[in-house]
Structure 1
Amino acid sequence: MKVSVDPLVCEANAVCVGLAPEVFDLDDDDELQVLMPDVPADQADRVRHAVRSCPKAALALEE
């Protein structure tokens, strides 16, 4: 499973960071960084929830 962010859509609301902090982070410029584009199996459910919860639908998941 791979996760990515569309930086043109993301508003850095950080919902995903709160749900999966091991995978997502905001940098010093408040831009979302995907720390683990290849999602580990133990983070899959959290990442799916984060993708569904993104208020701007800026995250994409490739299973």
Structure 2
Amino acid sequence: MKIVLDRDLCDGHGMCEAMAHDYFELDDDEMLTILNDSPPEEDRAKVHAAVQSCPALALTLQD
């Protein structure tokens, strides 16, 4: 599984960071950084929920 970010769609809401702060981080300018784009299997549910929480649909998962 790989996390993919479309920076053009990201509005910096921070929902993903709130749900999975080990994988997503917003800086002071509300720019999202993916801290680890290939989470292990045991974190799949948490990362999936965080990706689904994005109101701008800027995050996707690829298998």
**Alignment TM-score > 0.5, same fold:** yes
What's the CA shift for 1:53? 1.2
Residue of structure 2 in register with 1:52 after alignment = 52
Structure 2 counterparts to residues 1-63 of structure 1, below 5 A: 1-63=1-63
Deviation beyond 3 Å, 4+ runs, structure 1: none
What's the CA shift for 1:28? 2.9
TM normalised by structure 1 equals 0.91
Query: Which amino acid letter does the alignment assign opposite residue 51 of structure 2?
Result: V
CA distance in 2 between partners of 1:26 and 1:58 (Å): 14
Q: Name the Cα RMSD after superposition.
A: 0.9
Q: Which structure 1 segments of 5+ residues have no match? A: none
What is the identity percentage for the equivalent residue pairs of Structure 1 and Structure 2? 37
CA distance in 2 between partners of 1:40 and 1:14 (Å): 22
CA distance in 1 between partners of 2:8 and 2:51 (Å): 16
Query: Which amino acid letter does the alignment assign opposite residue 6 of structure 1?
Result: D
Q: Which structure 2 segments of 5+ residues have no match? A: none
How many residues align? The count is 63
